[in-house]
Amino acid sequence: MSLAWSSRNEIQLLSSSAAFAMSLGAKELFHTNFLAFMLESDDPALVSVQLAIRRALGFSPAQGAAPKCAVWREKNNLDLVIVELQPLSLAPTTQRATATDEEDADDQPGGESGGWDWSPTGGWTQSTSNSNSGVNSTAASFPRSVPTGRVLIVEAKLKSIPRLDQLTKYDNQLSTRGVSLDVPEDGAVSGRYLLVKDGAVSIERRLLSVAGISMTTPGTITRADGQWVGVTWKSIHGAMNGAVHGPSSSSISQTLTDYTQALGALVALFDRVHQMCNDAHLASGPTPTYGALRLQPLDSQFRSLRINDLLGKTLFDYWLHTFVLKGVTVNIPAGWALKGYVHYSRGTPGLGLELVNDSFQNPNGGPNIGLRIGIQVQNCELRLYVDVHAGWSGLEKWVAGHTVLPGRWFNTPVFSCAPVGYRGLPPMPATRTGRATNLKMFGVDRFLYSKLDIDNRPLVNVETELGRLIAHAAELAPLL
């Protein structure tokens, strides 16, 4: 039995889902767009869904607030900016924050139509009795609403992995310039601007991901720590699935059901990937090899659905944070930081642990190049590498002549075996024309490594070796 075989029901459902097919072009953007569509809808049949989504996000309506919200997608790179609304008749007559940035203000629609309007049958006509255009008249028929002062920022991660530096960038923006909005987008309250900025409105933050992890961005002199509260896609699906019980006559019913079922199938796959990784660590069970685990999400059925990357990154992210990092004990030297990461390239997932010194100077003088020494697991390989943040044409020559790196890093035994370089050659000395080493590379001026194949090594032994090697890298880092 395999991950693909045990997921045959989900594979069949996704293969016939129009919503899933539409999501493949931009996985996260599609899902956030759909959530925004739900939250913005005026359809009474969707009120229960709106309330369910808001509860799952921890953003239930305040007293007097409407179930629907005004939502901006990808505003200043923020995935979702969700503004709570209330009927204008219930709004307090207090002054709300307004935008002052000319660039944003100039983008907003305004002006008068002079009574002119157009239709396919009548062409252009001018009314002498009503100076408003048909668009304005239609907008005026919608319930007029204003912001309550509560705003939810959602950063959504499905295919990609949450990054602290990205959230820090958003928090710095929200605490300084802010984000200016014309509220609401449907024009029901024209000429009103809302400045989404810490201190101007109440801002809550959510990090929507497979694992549902929370992150805290470090505060600065001008702002406090940013609290990004984790929410899982499983919670979103559970909320929507429990609320999808409206009348089948609703125009959105079939689409909503299809989307909810497709999201449920993905959630079931995530859970099964996590279970598979957990089962590999049962004290009483057999210990599979690393290769057995890594190949599961690369099955041809997942490739045909184009979710092998999604499942592969989900597996390696869970493996890294649940098992690999817990086995790491490192004395981090001054000026260095320990980082773990997950990536997907050349059709396979991978993970890495590295010691990072972003202030590392070019030994030959010149600009700061930043330096990383670490280990990477991808495909069938465990790699010992040195990487520079900015490309440096002298990297390989520096490595070859270094007093520590050739013998104590790139030739460090892995599973008591000597790692190799290009075509199985010893990493050093160089036997290739025009090269200073036999190291493999992803750009000779950027990323150099030696490697050992580990597919047949027990998974738990790989984890132990990763912990030993990154501790060794931490011992060498101050000597670089």
Q: Is the peptide bond before 429 cis (omega within 30 degrees of 0)?
A: yes
What SS3 state is found at 178?
coil
Structure tokens, 350: 């991978």
What SS3 state is found at 134?
helix
User: In the prediction, which pLDDT does 91 show?
Assistant: 58
Average pLDDT on 61-85 reads 94
Query: Do β-strands 179-182 and 193-196 pair in parallel, antiparallel, or remain unpaired?
Result: antiparallel
Between 252 and 2, whose confidence is greater? Answer: 2
Kindly report which listed range (76-85, 121-130, 308-317, 400-409) carries the lowest average pLDDT score: 121-130
Q: What confidence tens digit (pLDDT) does each residue in 233-258 have?
A: 999 999 999 888 654 556 788 899 99
User: In the prediction, which pLDDT does 115 show?
Assistant: 80
Residue 110 has pLDDT above 80, yes or no: no
Average pLDDT on 416-431 reads 93
Q: Whole-angstrom Cα distance, residue 83 to residue 173?
A: 17
Percent of the chain at pLDDT above 90? Answer: 67
Average pLDDT on 2-9 reads 96
Q: What confidence tens digit (pLDDT) does each residue in 19-38 have?
A: 999 998 777 889 999 999 99
User: In the prediction, which pLDDT does 128 show?
Assistant: 67
Amino acid found at 295:
L
User: In the prediction, which pLDDT does 386 show?
Assistant: 96
User: In the prediction, which pLDDT does 102 show?
Assistant: 41
Mean pLDDT of the chain: 87
Residue 82: C-alpha distances to residues 44, 56, 60 (Å): 19, 14, 12
Q: For residue 469, count other CB atoms closer than 10 A to its CB.
A: 20
User: In the prediction, which pLDDT does 138 show?
Assistant: 37
Q: What confidence tens digit (pLDDT) does each residue in 330-366 have?
A: 999 999 999 999 999 888 999 999 999 998 888 877 7
What SS3 state is found at 268?
helix
Q: Are the C-beta atoms of 350 and 343 separated by less than 8 Å? A: yes
Closest residue by Cα to residue 375 from 360, 388, 386: 386
Closest residue by Cα to residue 333 from 363, 359, 369: 359
Amino acid found at 386:
V
Average pLDDT on 167-188 reads 81
What are φ and ψ of residue 195, in 5° steps?
-100, 110
Q: How confident is the model at residue 87 (pLDDT cuts 50, 70, 90)?
A: confident
User: In the prediction, which pLDDT does 103 show?
Assistant: 44
What SS3 state is found at 371?
strand
Domain ranges for the chain, please list them.
Answer: 3-105+133-259, 328-479
Average pLDDT on 373-388 reads 96
Average pLDDT on 264-275 reads 96
Residue-by-residue DSSP string for 416-468? TB--B-GGG--SSS--STT-S---EESSTTTEEEEEEE-TTSBHHHHHHHHHH
Q: How confident is the model at residue 92 (pLDDT cuts 50, 70, 90)?
A: low
Fill in the DSSP letter of residue 96: P
Q: How confident is the model at residue 226 (pLDDT cuts 50, 70, 90)?
A: confident
- The reported pTM is 0.86
Between 14 and 444, whose confidence is greater? Answer: 14
Q: Are the C-beta atoms of 61 and 150 separated by less than 8 Å? A: no
